[in-house]
Every structure is written in C-alpha cells, then in structure tokens.
Structure 1
C-alpha cells in the first residue's frame, strides 16, 4: 500500500495564483489524479484581471506546455518571429567591425525551423485564461481540487513529513509550493541579493507602419539595455533600463523621452511615433540558494528575481513547475523527488542567474573598451552559426 508521502496521497498546497502557480495547479491536477490540491491567493476571486496590461514574453517551450494544458488564449497573442540584439554605436574598432560585420545577433524562427521563437501577451490575458481552465476543472472535481482565493497565507511551519500553513486556521499539507514573489523593491532580501542601482522604465510605444512584424529588439546602450517587444496592434512594449542613482529619464517629459528613444533603437524600427506614460521599477538580483527547504518549494519570483535583460524569468519558473510535476508523478518519496528537483533544475537556474547578473553588472563597469568588447562579442556570435543556434535553443527551451 502506498505511504502517505507518495504522490497518490499527496496533499499539495500552491501559494500564488499568478501564471506560474496556476499552470502548476493545472498540470498537477491532470497528471496527479489522486492528489488533493489547494490553490491559495490573497486576490478575491471576483477581481477581474483580464485587463491587466503588464507584458509577458513566453518562450516557445512555455507556449507548447501551456497549449498541452489546454490553457492557451485564443486572441491577443503576438508571435515573436525574430530577435534582434545589437549595440548602440560606437561599438567596435573600425577594422575589426569591417571584418566581423555589424555588432548584432539576429535569430529567426525560420532559420531555427520552428513556427515562432516565443510570444508576447498581457499578464491579464494569460492569467484569466489559466484561471478559467482551473475553475472549470475544480468545479468538475470539487472533492480534491480546492480554490482558496481571498485567503492570504500568513506563515509556513515545517513539520515532520509536512508543512503547516497559517491561512486563518492551521492546515497541514504534505508539500507546499510558493509561486508568488512580487517585484524586487517590495521583497524581503534572500540569501543572494544585489541591488544593481538600475531601474526599468516600462510602457508602450507606437511603431512606424514600415516596422517589420513580430520582431523583438534588444539594444545595449552605455546606460543599460533597452528592449521592444512586439504587440498585436502596431505597438511594442518598452523596457528601458538606466542608472537609478543618476536617472537620465526621470526628468524628461513624454516628448523628450520619445526623442531619446529615437536615438537608441535600430533604423528598421524608427521613428517611434509615440510613447505612453512610463512606470519605474527598481532592478536587482534576489535569489534563494536552494529551491527547497524541507517540504516547501519556491519557484518563479519566490525563488529568484532577475534583471529583465534576458527576459527569461517567467519561463524559468514555468520550467521549474513542469519538472516538479514530472518528478511527483513518478510516485515514491516526496523528499527524494525534491532532492532530484534541486539537481535537475540547478544547471538551468544557475546559468540564467549568472548570465543576467553578469550582463546587468557589466553596464556599471567603467572600463576602457567594455562597450567595444560587447560589440565584438555580438558580431562574432552572429558569425558562429552553431553557437548562435545553441543560444536560440536555450532561449526557447532552457538549458537541458
């Protein structure tokens, strides 16, 4: 007979009904058919998030997983067909630039033989879709699936073989997955924490009519990276990272910000026609050394908050969620599954933490030739086909 800790008798609690928590709940509900699953969130169930405009970029691997879960929006999704990464001039010594070519890396879905590299969509679109599928599934199986919205979790207490949740009353679960984390500025500091003294200005811009469709741009500037993510309606989501201690954007009005942006991005996407009011967010690294502690697992922003330079934080959390369900589905001992989770997800997780941390800090270095070295690296990568393809596969599916 299975022990109480086997997957067929697991009482699983998921704290946080954002994209990662909802996707985990759906996958667990379908692939752990005998598990008792409770989904907690402080948000009232009546609160409609459909119109939340925050922009998310999902990799192809994330798209495929959500499609398999039957939780894919029917509209409001913009495929990414090309990623263009370049550096604002001046970038490389003229002689080397003539040899290596323009300091830019262009990755296309066509050259990678895939339908798309990923998609861009709003937070409200994906969360409302996931939530509807979860609510329909929960209504069909109320004896084992429980929606605990408008219920904040005040604390977690480790117990032998389980965790006690303080959600107004004490409840014991075999496993708790924390899948909510908030933004860097509001978080308690974790074991690995670094304030980059950078901020991101976030909003939307209107693209010119001739701008190619489905192209995501990342531009390295001397102040930090700036990115444009294509949206379905002729606009693009803007993420503009600068030094927060001497912020060059804060004192500008919208017209001045638009003028500066039109000096940053490549000619193919210029002139930008308008810019929305922008919101400012502090940037930093805030990560746990391990994903697991006893019977508590942290994924998504609860495990690590990263600089947006690579745009992969959400995708990392979704991969963590999928692998956790894979391991629990095998049955057996939960503690063994959690040890395997650390080992199997470690390379992907730490590679992304290290990459984003290096890139974020490189913009603060006052070193002669740092920009030229970055430009030469981009130009060389564009010429090295196998290495560029490996990078593309990691962007789409993570490190395997």
Structure 2
C-alpha cells in the first residue's frame, strides 16, 4: 500500500506536523505534502498560547525528537476540588481528588508549554526532513486550501492548483466560534477567560482545577510563581467581564483553594466562546479529520490536543500495517471509538452539568470526588486514561 500512497496534510499545527513527521518515519515509501495558510517565513516560536499535554503526548514528541524539557513545565500533581461544600460529615466532606505522578509510577503526568514552543521545533524538524527528501516530501506554506472534492480512490485538494491525493488528512480546526457547525454540535453558552497570573506560594509542578457554581477554573504551572489561568463562566451573565484586574485577582483568590497559593497579579485576559462541535466519524471517503477538525471540546478535561495526537499516531500506525487505505480507515474508526467517544461524552457531561440547577447536584459531585480519592484502583484508572487515553 505504501509504495504509491500520496498523502496531503492540511494544517501545519501540532497535530498536522506530528502526523507528517510520524508518516515520514513510519511510511518510508509514501509521498507527503503539508499545506498551511501560514507563510513559511512566519516565526511561530513567540506564540504565547498555553497548551497542556498528557504524558502520552510528551512521549510521542520525544519519539519524534522534538521534545525540549527546558521549554516545558512538568505536571507532577493534579489537584481537583469543588468550591461548594459537600455537606457530608467526616472524611466525605473533602470534595477533592489528588493524583500524584510518583504514586502512579511515572516521572510526570504531563507538561505545560506555549504553542510556539511546541510548533516551532515540529516545523523545524519537518522542514529539515523536506530538505533531506525533496523527492517525496513537500511543504506548501502560504497556501490556503479552499475546498476538498471526493474522488474514486482519493480526494482532490483545491488550493493554488487542484491536485489529487490518495488520502487527505485535515488537521486544521480552529476555535469553536469560527467553525462551521458539524453534525454533533452544542453551544454551551459559556466562555473561557484565559491568561497568566502571578502566584505567591504556588506548589511546584502542580495543576489545580476547581469546580465552581459558574464553571471550572484551572491553574496550570508555568514556572516559579507563574501559572496559566483558564476561567470558564456563563456567557449570558458573565461575572468576569465587568471586573477590573484588581477585582479579578480578588475573585480568583476566593474561587481557588488556599493550597494553590495567593494570586498577586494578572495579565490581560482573552475571552473565547465554548462549545462541542464533532463529526460522527473521523473519515469520509478518503478524507480523514483529526484534532479540532474532528472534534472541538470544552477545556474542562484538557484533552483536545491530546486526543488529536492520539488520532494521528493511530492513523499512521494503521496505514503502515493494513493492506489497503480502506481497511486502515475502517480499523481507525473501531480503534479510536472508545477513546474518542468516551472523551467527548465525559467533557460534554461535565460542561453541561455546570448549567444544571438541580438540588443536591453539588453534593453528589462532591461525594463522587471524595469517593474517588479513597478508591485507589479507580483513581489510578482515571490517571492512566488522562495520561494515555482509553485503550
């Protein structure tokens, strides 16, 4: 199958470039072309957007030779708690779960880094691969793909010229507010405020997620005294928008647990609408979608990019093992379904639960967290799924 396989990758972001590099190594006889509207001379290294990677994603990047520990902050503990009291006595009153890398037998649970620190080395590695093998690898930077046309045994990419490929992988998804609606779509009527904060007493290597009556809030470690903030609230009655910086600092300090430290400063925050936007299947004919192009999720579980990287890994693995593209794509749907739909269902349930005003809901959620903290095997299973997905 590999001998004549001509693959187009649309989107030179993390998922697209990771897939292209994997395919370059694992499918040595296939031809590959990466399309992206970004100009080749554009320097992405300074893009400050914060990304959270699971351990499985870190290992994939290490395998590709593009992981730099110095550019990332390891996550060695994750602390999840609920602001509302559980109203239950004794040990059940503590509505919190803590997952520790050492107790799970791994060096780290994941890592935090900027978009630029992730994409720049991926792009350099891909550009070097193209220079080394120009007969089978190509880049089409500064080229916007205007459309895709299904063909028998392939698909046509409509860019600066119309070109036929045996397989097209779309890895360019964008954010929820800018996307055309897919078959499975839900507007959560929530927004995420994102930025960075300065924190006194922030525990090293610890990520915090706090469930509040408005929605989840998270602090992701960026280094000594610094953390990335993701703060989700209702869109219709946004409590963050009218606040000045000093008021935002005061509210976040009230929201987050004391053990997270005391926030002393905050950067300008950006606001993003949140929703679910997913395809029923990853492939349609010879066009495959991965990452945000296949499913855009609420950030409550921090699994969007990790899911896309697992999509990429499994697709390349199957293309190298199956006898035909069709059999590889059929197997892809079966292999990815538990992880993909499990993650979609979990994030969708959690996102919608913050809009429910049911009596006792906070108490039930708190009871579940307290029980999970005390059930070691169940907590370890959750930790493994967060690190590596459902297998």
Give TM-score scaled by structure 2 length.
Answer: 0.99
Equivalent position to 2:358, from 367, 372, 380: 367
d(CA) in 2 for partners of 1:279, 1:216? 20
Pairing of 1:19-34 with structure 2 (within 5 A): 19-34=14-29
What residue is the counterpart of 1:47 in the other structure? 42
1:212 deviation in Å? 1.2
What residue is the counterpart of 1:286 in the other structure? 277
**Could you tell me whether the CA contact under 8 Å between 2:86 and 2:93 is conserved in 1?**
no
**Could you tell me whether the CA contact under 8 Å between 1:286 and 1:305 is conserved in 2?**
yes
Q: CA RMSD in A?
A: 0.9
What residue is the counterpart of 1:313 in the other structure? 304
**Could you tell me whether the CA contact under 8 Å between 2:86 and 2:92 is conserved in 1?**
no
1:232 deviation in Å? 2.3
> Does residue 1:142 correspond to 2:134, yes or no?
yes
**Could you tell me whether the CA contact under 8 Å between 1:76 and 1:232 is conserved in 2?**
no
1:102 deviation in Å? 1.2
Equivalent position to 2:155, from 158, 163, 171: 163
Other structure's SS at 2:299 match = coil
What residue is the counterpart of 1:56 in the other structure? 51
Q: Unaligned regions of 5+ residues in structure 1, if any?
A: 1-5
- Assess, with a 3 A threshold, how the Cα gap between structure 1 residues 233 and 99 changes in structure 2: closer, same or farther: closer
1:8 deviation in Å? 2.3
1:99 deviation in Å? 3.8
Pairing of 1:1-400 with structure 2 (within 5 A): 6-89=1-84, 91-95=85-89, 98-208=90-200, 210-400=201-391
1:339 deviation in Å? 0.5
d(CA) in 1 for partners of 2:91, 2:20? 52
> Over residues 157-195 of structure 1, what are the superposed CA-to-partner deviations in whole Å (9 max), with x where a residue is unaligned?
000000011012110000000001100000000000000
Give TM-score scaled by structure 1 length.
Answer: 0.97
- Assess, with a 3 A threshold, how the Cα gap between structure 1 residues 74 and 138 changes in structure 2: closer, same or farther: farther
**Could you tell me whether the CA contact under 8 Å between 1:58 and 1:314 is conserved in 2?**
yes
1:101 deviation in Å? 4.7
d(CA) in 2 for partners of 1:101, 1:259? 25
Other structure's SS at 1:33 match = coil
d(CA) in 1 for partners of 2:91, 2:260? 26
d(CA) in 2 for partners of 1:167, 1:360? 37
Aligned length, in residue pairs: 391
d(CA) in 1 for partners of 2:119, 2:171? 13
d(CA) in 2 for partners of 1:235, 1:180? 30
Larger displacement relative to structure 2 (270-279 or 305-314)? 270-279
1:372 deviation in Å? 1.0
d(CA) in 2 for partners of 1:158, 1:134? 27
**Could you tell me whether the CA contact under 8 Å between 1:71 and 1:130 is conserved in 2?**
yes
What residue is the counterpart of 1:3 in the other structure? none
d(CA) in 2 for partners of 1:305, 1:128? 23
**Could you tell me whether the CA contact under 8 Å between 1:7 and 1:332 is conserved in 2?**
no
1:74 deviation in Å? 4.9
1:94 deviation in Å? 3.5
**Could you tell me whether the CA contact under 8 Å between 1:8 and 1:331 is conserved in 2?**
no
